[in-house]
């Protein structure tokens, strides 16, 4: 049986949808591979729609609308063009072939052109084969494991159990992290001394010598608040996340890595085996004569040990265990930490579970440069931070620099913009934004202005779109893992825990 690709087609109401309709009425032959979504304009098609379609099983996505110059909303199709040009580059970094996401123009009377477009795209996708994103990248054995309910049996009882008398018990733990979040706790300064007086710290590996068995000895629900930073990247971190979830009445994802995967999540743009090969064998500074890798069994001091294995991708904490609250940032700012700790220890007027403990407002609203941002902003050329000295008072976007402030939550102040650095998005998205990177890419590309060729040139001039827009949120995005089979299995491929 030959493979029949599934194509989700976003068709503009005024042109491409009319062309598809005419092609149907004229009984033109073209493959029945389209799942059509009628949209008012191609400019309405957010990159997140495209990612969602791929995630949910499309082998390709077609966005089709009016020819440039014919847009019923002036330039919606040119905005679509700019976003598309950037998005296909970011997707290519994640192993999705550019041919899978296509933007095309077809006037309402161009039925044959539309039919040919579908024939061509179907043939190209058939040659590429199924994308099967969820199967290949999301539903791994590990994902089956983390969603296995028995891992968290008794959790609700633990959360509801009466709390132990005495000072609130607090734990700090780190998973795959850089240590910056630990530093941020110490940066509370006198606030930290005050906190240390008010609570009993029962775990803090960076500073205190508690062991795993100390935590295991606590009753379930015996920790009042566990602040957990870092993404979950190793089997050992997965174990700790489950243990702390069982022992803590409240679990807080602390910092961008626990919240969204953070910088660690960018590792998901590479296959796990590629990561191991680079980090443990190829780096010129690596000395690993015994070829030890995560997951290897070793004999040390007469004991046989198994090093923790690398999971199939880095996960935000909330994908591994239920998280009660999030303290965002890379690292979280002292003001945000202090306010969140106060709120959690008071136990009063707590927001609903899952809430991010920072204002649900755009960074731009509190930015000292906001008044310099033109009402109608347009970008004709890009600047790069490495080769530009930005003006200290002007909105970065008005200077042609990427700034993710518009879609990023505020709370970092004083933050990057105060030291003449554009916002990189570490506080994450506002409530309701499904993919922070996709939203940032969309907002930035929509400011491009020029002809189709000029828009393509602008998109091509921006280095590393995935790393730019998904710097902190790739691991929590709609396409959070590379989709591409390894050409050949590298030595020491990571173990996937059995489901
Ligand atoms: S959120 Fe930032 S500071 Fe915290 S562990 Fe991750 S990279 Fe480090
Ligand atoms: S885009 Fe950046 S520089 Fe401009 S107002 Fe927003 S946060 Fe400030």
Provide the mean pLDDT of the chain.
92
pLDDT of residue 146: 61
Q: How many CB atoms lie within 10 A of CB 411?
A: 25
Which of 235 and 161 is assigned the larger pLDDT?
235
Whether pLDDT at 2 is above 80:
no
Mean pLDDT computed over 45-53? 98
Whether pLDDT at 437 is above 70:
yes
pLDDT of residue 497: 40
pLDDT of residue 145: 60
Measured between its terminal Cα atoms, the distance across the chain in Å is 31
Reported as a single tens digit per residue, the pLDDT across 250-269 is 999 999 999 999 999 999 99
The residue to mutate among 385, 405, 446, having the most atoms of ligand 2 within 8 angstroms of its beta carbon, is 405
Q: How far is the CA of 259 from the centre of ligand 1 (A)?
A: 10
Nearest alpha carbon to residue 30 among 113, 125, 130: 113
pLDDT of residue 179: 94
pLDDT band for position 147 (cuts 50, 70, 90)? low
Gap between the Cα atoms of 296 and 495, Å rounded: 10
Mean pLDDT computed over 169-183? 96
| CB of residue 228 inside a 6 A radius of ligand 1 | no
Nearest alpha carbon to residue 478 among 486, 469, 491: 469
Which of 18 and 139 is assigned the larger pLDDT?
18
If you ran DSSP here, which 8-state letter would residue 321 be given? S
pLDDT band for position 157 (cuts 50, 70, 90)? confident
Global model pTM greater than 0.85: yes
If you ran DSSP here, which 8-state letter would residue 256 be given? H
Ligand 1 atom nearest the C-alpha of 255 is: 1
Q: How far is the CA of 402 from the centre of ligand 2 (A)?
A: 9
The residue to mutate among 172, 174, 175, 181, having the most atoms of ligand 1 within 8 angstroms of its beta carbon, is 181
Reported as a single tens digit per residue, the pLDDT across 85-144 is 999 999 999 999 999 999 999 999 999 999 999 999 999 999 999 998 877 777 665 555
Residue located nearest, by CA, to atom 1 of ligand 2: 405
Ligand 1 atom nearest the C-alpha of 231 is: 6
pLDDT of residue 57: 93
Name the phi and psi angles at 376, rounded to 5. Answer: -110, 100
Mean pLDDT computed over 333-352? 92
Percent of the chain predicted with pLDDT > 70: 94
| CB of residue 468 inside a 6 A radius of ligand 1 | no
Mean pLDDT computed over 461-484? 95
- How open is the CA angle 284-470-476, to the nearest 5 degrees? 105
369-377: Cβ within 8 A, 24+ apart: 369/393, 369/394, 369/395, 369/396, 369/417, 370/395, 372/398, 373/397, 373/398, 374/398, 377/447
User: Nearest ligand to the C-alpha of residue 231?
Assistant: 1
| CB of residue 397 inside a 6 A radius of ligand 2 | yes
Which of 31 and 424 is assigned the larger pLDDT?
424
Mean pLDDT computed over 481-492? 59
Nearest alpha carbon to residue 246 among 264, 259, 228: 228
Mean pLDDT computed over 366-394? 94
Gap between the Cα atoms of 116 and 298, Å rounded: 60
Reported as a single tens digit per residue, the pLDDT across 305-323 is 998 999 989 999 999 999 9
Q: Are 316 and 238 in contact (CB under 8 A)?
A: no
pLDDT of residue 300: 83
Gap between the Cα atoms of 393 and 372, Å rounded: 7
Q: Are 51 and 479 in contact (CB under 8 A)?
A: yes
Q: How far is the CA of 403 from the centre of ligand 2 (A)?
A: 6
Gap between the Cα atoms of 104 and 320, Å rounded: 40
């Amino acid at each position: 049986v030959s493979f029949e690709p599934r194509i989700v087609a976003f068709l503009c109401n005024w042109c491409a949808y009319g062309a598809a309709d005419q092609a149907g009425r004229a009984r033109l032959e073209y493959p029945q591979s389209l799942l059509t979504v009628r949209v008012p304009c191609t400019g309405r098609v957010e990159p997140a729609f495209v990612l969602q379609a791929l995630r949910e099983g499309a082998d390709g996505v077609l966005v089709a609308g009016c020819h440039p110059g014919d847009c019923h909303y002036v330039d919606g199709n040119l905005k679509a063009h700019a976003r598309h040009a950037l998005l296909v580059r970011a997707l290519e970094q994640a192993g999705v072939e550019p041919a899978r996401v296509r933007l095309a123009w077809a006037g309402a009377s161009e039925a044959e052109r539309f039919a040919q477009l579908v024939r061509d795209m179907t043939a190209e996708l058939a040659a590429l084969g199924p994308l099967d994103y969820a199967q290949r990248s999301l539903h791994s054995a590990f994902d089956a494991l983390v969603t296995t309910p028995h891992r968290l049996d008794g959790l609700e009882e633990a959360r509801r159990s009466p709390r132990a008398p005495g000072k609130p018990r607090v734990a700090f733990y780190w998973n795959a992290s850089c240590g910056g979040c630990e530093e941020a706790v110490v940066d509370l300064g006198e606030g930290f001394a005050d906190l240390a007086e008010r609570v009993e710290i029962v775990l803090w590996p960076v500073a205190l010598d508690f062991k795993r068995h100390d935590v295991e000895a606590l009753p379930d629900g015996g920790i009042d608040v566990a602040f957990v930073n870092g993404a979950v990247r190793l089997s050992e971190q997965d174990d700790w996340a489950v243990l702390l979830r069982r022992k803590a009445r409240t679990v807080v994802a602390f910092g961008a890595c626990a919240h969204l995967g953070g910088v660690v999540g960018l590792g998901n743009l590479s296959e796990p085996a590629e990561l191991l090969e680079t980090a443990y064998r190829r780096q010129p500074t690596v000395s690993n004569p015994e070829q030890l890798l995560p997951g290897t069994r070793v004999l040390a001091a007469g004991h046989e040990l198994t090093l923790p294995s690398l999971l199939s991708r880095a996960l935000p904490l909330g994908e591994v265990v239920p998280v009660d609250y999030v303290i965002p940032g890379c690292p979280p700012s002292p003001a945000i930490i202090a306010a969140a700790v106060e709120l959690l220890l008071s136990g009063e007027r707590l927001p609903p579970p899952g809430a991010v403990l920072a204002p649900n407002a755009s960074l731009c609203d509190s930015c000292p440069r906001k008044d310099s941002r033109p009402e109608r902003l347009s970008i004709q050329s890009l600047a790069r931070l490495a080769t530009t000295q930005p003006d200290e008072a002007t909105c970065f976007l008005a200077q042609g620099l990427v700034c993710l402030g518009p879609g990023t939550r505020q709370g970092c102040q004083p933050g990057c913009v105060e030291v003449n650095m554009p916002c990189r998005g570490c506080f994450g998205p506002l409530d309701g934004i499904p993919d922070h990177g996709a939203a940032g890419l969309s907002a930035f590309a929509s400011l491009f202005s020029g002809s189709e060729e000029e828009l393509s040139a602008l998109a091509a001039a921006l280095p590393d779109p995935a790393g730019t827009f998904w710097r902190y949120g790739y691991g929590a995005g709609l396409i959070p893992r590379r989709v591409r089979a390894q050409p050949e299995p590298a030595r020491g491929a990571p173990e996937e825990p059995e489901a």
